[in-house]
């Protein structure tokens, strides 16, 4: 005890105006690697030396759950910790940065694009981008949540039932490269000639632009239907370091700290600190953040499936009762499949047309925009008499493999196979979504859809186009 | 841990004169452990260095005297203790508040409640929990100020809500203040309408974004406010009604997904209407922003507007002191004129020294003096009554799925 007091006396007596140095270890997001100059200034002003140990935000969250040895954590958000049920320790948000798309000029035609229009372009191979692995990095997961929330189109936080249908696959076609770490800057510089865009924090895009390391400057796109914001809480992990924590955080949230952080293109948390240069840009509408870990798990599973070839078979009723508005409506519904419901590269689409028998079964492998035009052309055939819906499904199931089947009909079966015969031949049929309108029998269609794990959609109640969109990706 | 440090200014530097200090925690057994001595020594140096830094920066002028570090857990009233001027005024009384910000509902249930010098929960029902938990221990209440729970939004969203019949502009509010019909708001939310349906460029559902009802008083109070409106201006009085109302409210809260802590900082950020188009905050947070903007620009911020529920709910935050240090702080902030003045400047409604509401009009006067219109709060004949604590708790567990 006496020795400590003596030490205090000696140190205090020996000091001038410079505060005594103290070092804290910090579990920090990998994208914070550019904070060197800020940390130098912090040390000069307060004597607090933060030693950053970099991880992806998601990875770091797991480390905190297991009991990290660090004094502090400084991550893009504490939202994922809370989803996982980890008590968030004393935390102070010190800066802000939204997840954006940094895109080369001219790659996106729209002025203020939405995630949906970005997905449209990416799905047909028109936008190759770099993103961070969402299992490791906060920016990757935030982008995935942004896209999926916009895709669900509910205007609400994602619920588990909203992610049952997989509407992010088109968007993920554009995923040209994935960086394991959160710091995408170096990776983008290396691969810039193969890429059109990078999904990351605004701060990373702006510092790339200022770095002189990229050949084409990136435009910052704030997707107008879903901004996710990183608010960078500094979290106290070791309660006994409280006094030093307070000192460091007081500096960071003070005028000097906020200005220093702004030099790294982060937005200040203090509303009174005037934003400068490109940080004056207003952000788009934020989305509501999901409230359950289940949703995040489902999204990560969808992410893992990305790039796997998908298969869907459309079984379309071309009987004469479809003449007029119905067949026009059906063709129109297909023409309107864009955005998150658009066809995507790697997808194999079969169209089975039937009347009293199967009229045609054609398959298009989607490699680009011209294949989507070819698909539209398949819908041009003539109408004939009769309705052999179960025979047509039998043909579809031969083609479907582990893909999905969408059957659309307006009449009762009056030719070919019976429903019992079909179910006997296919006791576990491919997942089937039945869109019924007109006099189609809801009970029999419902039975087949039910047996497959799919469901019946009544297009009488709403529009056919909406029904067709609804089952895309399911 | 609380240090009482004695410092003395002598030629060219500060030395620790009679460096005695009292350690409340960790306990002495930990204190004696050898491996504790070095880190502890360092932390003492750090505490001294902090005081020196404050002195050096001119924030503090200290003759030979003690600095009392008072530890507290604080709910929504953290804004007050974070204010640099409040810190300076307290330091003039040689008091430094070490604040642990915790949502009120979380605060009153924490295991380490008794380890603090004071706690400052935001409302009466939370205060009751503290009294219950400290039955045979000293707990002294101080009620220095209060501030109602309100909804805040942007001017164009307020106009959209006005056109939808949800809010009405206050006559003398200069466009800053509106009266809100909670039943009308509930109707729009229950209809599942989108902001774009009301003419704003936003594809999100119309809801109010609230602090987590599991953790905060304002979030819990919002639930109570909706229940009161849904129940025909009566709080539920039995279990069955409480659960039924909670189930009606839950879908409206689920739209937001994960609730935040305190929406005010992001709502007040100048980065666009991104975060929280309609948020539940405290009146003082909005007024403090307006006072600061007027001071900076000479004009109020007309892009933002405050919505006052017609059936107002008065909150009664109390500083509950557990120790002499806590008492000293409580006494100061309720009676020291400069601190009371500062509370007004931060947008709080200041109570009289014994908690009476005679100074109710002081805030209005202050706003007028700064060229800001004064709001009328709670114009309706009714006040929102919350269900009793047990029932409100039941509702929160039902809507929030709190752990």
Cα four-point dihedral sign A329, A331, A335, A341: positive
Q: Of B15, B70, B257, which to mutate for an interface test with A (greatest number of A Cβ within 10 Å)?
A: B257
Q: Considering only CB atoms, which chain A residues are within 8 Å of B52? A: 12, 15, 17, 19
Query: Given this model, what pLDDT does residue B288 score?
Result: 95
Query: Given this model, what pLDDT does residue A390 score?
Result: 96
What percentage of chain A reaches a pLDDT higher than 70? 95
Q: Considering only CB atoms, which chain A residues are within 8 Å of B36? A: none
CB contact under 8 A, B19 and A9: yes
Is the separation of the CB atoms in B206 and B193 below 8 Å?
yes
- Which residue of chain B is at minimal alpha-carbon distance from A255? B84
Tokens matching residue B79: 């804004």
CB contact under 8 A, B37 and A244: no
ipTM of the complex in this document: 0.81
- Which residue of chain B is at minimal alpha-carbon distance from A151? B203
For the ranges A12-21, A241-250, B318-327, which has the lowest average pLDDT?
A12-21
CA distance, residue B120 to nearest chain A CA (Å): 16
Task: Tell whether A193 is within 8 A of chain B (Cβ).
Answer: no
Give the pLDDT confidence of A250-263 residue by residue, as tens digits: 999 999 999 999 99
What mean pLDDT comes out for the span A158-170?
A: 86
Of B205, B268, B275, the CB nearest to A286: B275
Q: Considering only CB atoms, which chain B residues are within 8 Å of A282? A: 271-274
CA distance, residue B84 to nearest chain A CA (Å): 10
Task: Give the A window 356-375 contacts with B, CB below 8 Å.
Answer: none
Query: Given this model, what pLDDT does residue B51 score?
Result: 53
Say if residue A7's pLDDT is above 50.
no
Query: Given this model, what pLDDT does residue A334 score?
Result: 86
| Listed residue (B395, B332, B329, B389) closest to B68, CA to CA | B329
Q: Considering only CB atoms, which chain A residues are within 8 Å of B12? A: 16
Q: How confident is the model at residue A95 (pLDDT cuts 50, 70, 90)?
A: very high
CB contact under 8 A, B205 and A229: no
CB contact under 8 A, A272 and B296: yes
Task: Tell whether A175 is within 8 A of chain B (Cβ).
Answer: no
| Listed residue (B69, B67, B81, B73) closest to B116, CA to CA | B73
Task: Tell whether A19 is within 8 A of chain B (Cβ).
Answer: yes
What mean pLDDT comes out for the span A210-217?
A: 95
Beta bridge partners of A286: A227
Is the separation of the CB atoms in A129 and A136 below 8 Å?
no
Q: What is the pTM of this model?
A: 0.82
**Number of residues in chain B:** 403
- The three-state DSSP-derived secondary structure of chain A is CHHHHHHHHHHHHHCCCCCCCEEEEEEEEHHHHHHHHHHHHHHHHHCEEEEEEEECHHHHHHHHHHCCCCCEEECCCCHHHHHCCCCCCCEEECEEEEEEEEECCCCCCCCCCCHHHHHHHHHCCCCCEEEECCCCCHHHHHHHHHHHHHHHCCCCCCCHHHHCCCCCHHHHHCEEEEECCCCCHHHHHHHHHHCCEEEEEHHHHHHHHHHCCCCCCCEEECCCCCECEECCEEEECCHHHHHHHHHHHHHHHCHHHHHHHHCCCCEECCCCCCCCHHHHCCCCCECCCCCCHHHHHHHHHHHHHCCCCEEEEEEEECEHHHCCHHHHHHHHHHHCCCHHHCCCCCEEEEEEEECCCEEEEEEEECCCHHHHHHHHHHHHCCCECCCCHHHHHHHHHHHHCCCEEEEEECCCCCCCCCHHHHHHHCCCCCCEEEEECCCCCHHHHHHHHHHHCCEEEECCCCCHHHHHHHCCCC
Q: What is the pLDDT along chain B (403 residues), one digit of tens a residue?
A: 333 333 333 333 333 333 333 333 333 344 444 444 444 545 554 555 555 555 544 445 444 568 999 999 999 999 999 999 999 999 999 999 999 989 999 999 999 999 999 999 998 889 999 999 999 999 999 999 988 999 999 999 999 999 999 999 998 888 999 999 999 999 999 999 999 999 988 889 999 999 999 999 999 999 999 999 999 999 999 999 999 999 999 999 999 999 988 888 889 988 877 777 899 999 999 999 999 999 999 999 999 999 999 888 878 799 999 999 999 999 999 999 999 999 999 999 987 666 555 456 788 889 999 999 999 875 555 678 889 999 999 999 999 878 6
- Which residue of chain B is at minimal alpha-carbon distance from A8? B45
CB contact under 8 A, A240 and B205: no
Q: For chains A and B, count residue pairs whose Cβ atoms are closer than 8 Å.
A: 154
- Which residue of chain A is at minimal alpha-carbon distance from B296? A272
Give the pLDDT confidence of A258-295 residue by residue, as tens digits: 999 999 999 999 988 999 999 999 887 888 999 999 99
CB contact under 8 A, A19 and B15: no
Angle ∠(B318,B323,B326) on CA atoms, nearest 5: 50
Cα within 13 Å of Cα(A268), Cβ side: 22
Is the separation of the CB atoms in A257 and A143 below 8 Å?
no
Q: Considering only CB atoms, which chain A residues are within 8 Å of B56? A: 17
- Which residue of chain A is at minimal alpha-carbon distance from B273? A285
Cα four-point dihedral sign A159, A165, A166, A168: negative
Q: Specify the 3-state DSSP secondary structure of B319.
A: strand
Please state whether the peptide bond connecting residue B26 to the residue before it is cis, i.e. omega within 30 degrees of 0.
yes
For the ranges A23-37, A329-343, B21-35, which has the lowest average pLDDT?
B21-35
Query: Given this model, what pLDDT does residue A14 score?
Result: 42
Q: Of B258, B279, B403, which to mutate for an interface test with A (greatest number of A Cβ within 10 Å)?
A: B258
Task: Tell whether A154 is within 8 A of chain B (Cβ).
Answer: yes
Higher pLDDT, A14 or B151: B151
CB contact under 8 A, B19 and A8: yes
């Amino acid at each position: 005890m006496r020795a400590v007091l003596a030490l205090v006396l000696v140190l205090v007596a020996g000091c001038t105006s410079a505060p005594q140095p103290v070092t804290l270890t910090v579990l920090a997001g990998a994208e914070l690697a550019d904070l060197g100059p800020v940390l130098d200034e912090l040390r000069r002003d307060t004597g607090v030396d933060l030693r950053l140990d970099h991880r992806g935000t998601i990875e770091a969250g797991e480390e905190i759950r297991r009991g990290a040895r660090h004094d502090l954590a400084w991550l893009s958000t504490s939202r994922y910790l809370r989803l996982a049920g980890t008590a968030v320790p004393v935390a102070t948000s010190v800066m802000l940065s939204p997840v954006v798309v940094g895109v080369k000029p001219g790659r996106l035609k729209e002025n203020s694009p939405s995630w949906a229009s970005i997905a449209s372009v990416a799905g047909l191979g028109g936008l190759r981008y770099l993103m961070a692995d969402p299992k490791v990095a906060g920016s990757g997961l935030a982008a995935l949540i942004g896209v999926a929330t916009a895709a669900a189109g509910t205007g609400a936080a994602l619920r588990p039932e909203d992610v049952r249908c997989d509407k992010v696959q088109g968007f993920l076609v554009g995923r040209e490269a994935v960086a394991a770490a959160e710091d995408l800057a170096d990776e983008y510089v290396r691969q810039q000639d193969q890429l059109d865009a990078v999904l990351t924090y605004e701060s990373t895009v702006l510092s790339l632009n200022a770095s002189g390391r990229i050949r084409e400057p990136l435009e910052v796109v704030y997707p107008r239907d879903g901004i996710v914001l990183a608010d960078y809480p500094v979290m106290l992990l070791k309660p006994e370091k409280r006094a030093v924590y307070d000192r460091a955080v007081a500096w960071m949230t003070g005028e000097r700290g906020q200005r220093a952080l702004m030099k790294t293109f982060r937005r200040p948390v203090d509303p009174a600190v005037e934003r400068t240069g490109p940080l004056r840009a207003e952000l788009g509408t934020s989305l509501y953040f999901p409230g359950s870990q289940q949703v995040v798990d489902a999204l990560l599973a969808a992410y893992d499936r990305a790039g796997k070839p998908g298969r869907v078979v459309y079984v379309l009723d071309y009987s004469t009762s479809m003449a007029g508005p119905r067949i026009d409506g059906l063709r129109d519904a297909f023409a309107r499949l864009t955005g998150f419901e658009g066809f995507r590269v790697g997808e194999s689409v079969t169209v089975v047309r039937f009347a009293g028998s199967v009229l045609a079964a054609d398959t298009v492998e989607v490699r680009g925009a011209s294949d989507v035009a070819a698909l539209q052309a398949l819908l041009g055939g003539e109408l004939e008499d009769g309705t052999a819906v179960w025979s047509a499904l039998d043909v579809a199931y031969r083609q479907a493999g582990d893909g999905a089947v969408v059957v659309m009909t307006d009449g009762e079966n009056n030719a070919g196979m019976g429903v019992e015969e079909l179910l006997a031949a296919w006791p576990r049929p491919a997942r089937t979504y039945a869109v019924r309108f007109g006099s189609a029998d809801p009970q029999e269609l419902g039975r087949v859809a039910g047996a497959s794990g799919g469901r019946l959609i009544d297009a009488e109640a709403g529009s056919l186009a909406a029904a067709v969109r609804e089952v895309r990706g399911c | 841990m609380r240090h009482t440090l004695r410092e003395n200014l002598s030629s060219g530097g500060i030395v620790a004169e009679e460096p005695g200090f009292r350690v409340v925690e960790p306990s002495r057994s930990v204190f004696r452990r050898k491996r504790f001595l070095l880190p502890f020594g360092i932390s003492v140096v750090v505490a001294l260095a902090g005081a020196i830094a404050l002195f050096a920066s001119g924030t503090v002028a200290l003759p030979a005297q003690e600095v009392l570090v008072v530890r507290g857990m604080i709910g929504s009233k953290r804004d007050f203790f974070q204010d640099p001027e409040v810190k300076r005024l307290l330091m003039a009384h040689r008091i430094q508040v070490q604040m642990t910000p915790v949502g009120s509902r979380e605060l009153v249930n924490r295991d380490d409640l008794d380890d603090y010098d004071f706690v400052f929960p935001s409302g009466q029902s939370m205060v009751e929990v503290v009294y219950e938990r400290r039955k045979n221990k000293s707990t002294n209440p101080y009620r220095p100020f209060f501030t109602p729970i309100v909804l805040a939004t942007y001017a164009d969203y307020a106009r959209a809500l006005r056109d939808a019949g949800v809010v009405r502009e206050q006559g003398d509010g200069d466009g800053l203040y509106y009266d809100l019909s909670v039943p009308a708001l509930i109707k729009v939310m229950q209809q599942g309408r989108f902001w774009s349906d009301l003419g704003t460029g936003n594809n999100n559902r119309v809801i109010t974004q609230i602090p987590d009802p599991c953790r905060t008083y304002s979030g819990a109070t919002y639930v109570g406010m909706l229940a009161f409106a849904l129940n025909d201006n009566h709080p539920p009085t039995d279990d069955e009604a409480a659960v039924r109302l909670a189930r009606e409210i839950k879908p409206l809260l689920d739209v937001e997904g994960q609730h935040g802590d305190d929406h005010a900082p992001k709502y007040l950020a100048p980065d666009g209407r991104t975060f929280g188009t309609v948020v539940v905050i405290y009146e003082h947070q909005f007024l403090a922003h307006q006072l600061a903007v007027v001071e900076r620009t000479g004009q109020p911020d007309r892009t933002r507007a405050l919505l006052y529920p017609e059936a107002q709910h008065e909150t009664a935050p109390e500083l509950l002191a557990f120790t002499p240090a806590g008492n000293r702080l409580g006494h100061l902030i309720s009676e020291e004129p400069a601190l009371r003045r500062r509370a007004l400047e931060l947008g709080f409604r200041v109570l009289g020294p014994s908690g009476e509401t005679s100074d109710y009009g002081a805030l209005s006067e202050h706003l007028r003096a700064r060229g800001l219109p004064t709001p009328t709060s709670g114009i309706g004949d009714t006040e929102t009554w919350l269900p009793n604590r047990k029932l409100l708790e039941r509702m929160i567990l039902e809507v929030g799925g709190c752990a």
